[in-house]
Amino acid sequence: MKPRQRPSPAQRLRNMHGLLEQAYGPQHWWPAETPFEVILGAYLTQNTAWKAVERSLANLRQAGALTLDGLRSIALEDLQNLIRPSGFHTRKAPALKAFVAMLDREFSSSLDVFAASPTATLRPRLLALPGVGPETADAILLYALNHPVPVADEYLRRVALRHRLLAPPPGPAGYDSLVDLTRQAFAVDPSVSSSRLFNQFHALTVAVGKAHCARTPHCTGCPLAADLQFVTPAVVKDAKRK
């Protein structure tokens, strides 16, 4: 018998994953028909509600711009107008064009060639693109290219802070520490595809985040805990007032 000691943050995160699976089940994320569509969604959803992204994607579909060829052909100005519903169109449209240009110039215009490259070269290449930060890069790697990388986001940060799995000061350094924490949490069990694990874990994070982290600071009926307070933007702002 081992002496009972406090579980590590990584162990606690893994336990939370189990609770969330029981509560929400398989998530079959990311809502998209093709890998290329995943990539478009990853760009468009930056600081934007998914509902709005859906309308932009519908516009793109109707214009035949949901494919690599379609996106290459379309004029920048038209692209801007099609994705207007999801906001930041003056930044996101050129960013999408830059992605296509990169595939054309460096990867034989082939998403398959791109996906077949090692993660260690793809991630820096993605981060060097305009409009691609760590979360977008990792979402593309995991959900479009099926590379085994964790995806961290605002919801995971809230959950981690709320349950004190992280030191208080968040920020850009916070992203990497969240990724490290996730890697540690799922470092065991090589029998399961880590892509699938990371996929399911991030999806569950968003599910619980939408249900309990978004609006109401006080978490009632949350599978993780019913007696703590989520760090919503409003809570952060309120804390700053003092």
Partner DNA sequence: CGCCAGGCCGTGT
Partner DNA sequence: ACACGGCATGGC
State the residues that interact with DNA by CB under 7 A.
29-31, 41-42, 45-52, 55, 84-85, 87-91, 129-137, 139, 143, 153-155, 169-173, 206, 210, 214-215, 232-234, 237
Are the beta carbons of 204 and 21 closer than 8 angstroms?
A: yes
The single-letter code of the amino acid at 80 is: Q
Whose Cβ is closer to DNA: residue 116's or residue 173's? 173
Contact 230, 219 (CB under 8 A): yes
Count of helices and strands (H, E) across the chain: 13, 0
Name residue 33's amino acid: E
Least distance in Å: CB of 40 to DNA? Answer: 11
Select 48 or 109, whichever has its Cβ closest to DNA: 48
- When the beta carbons of 65 and 137 are compared against DNA, the nearer one is 137
**Nearer CB in complex with DNA: 91/183:** 91
User: Min. distance of Cβ 222 from DNA in angstroms?
Assistant: 15
Backbone CA torsion sign across 183, 184, 190, 196: negative
Looking at this protein, which amino acid is placed at residue 68?
Answer: L
Closest distance between DNA and the C-beta of residue 140, in Å?
A: 9
In degrees and rounded to multiples of 5, residue 63 shows phi and psi of: -90, 0
Least CB distance to DNA at residue 112 (A):
21
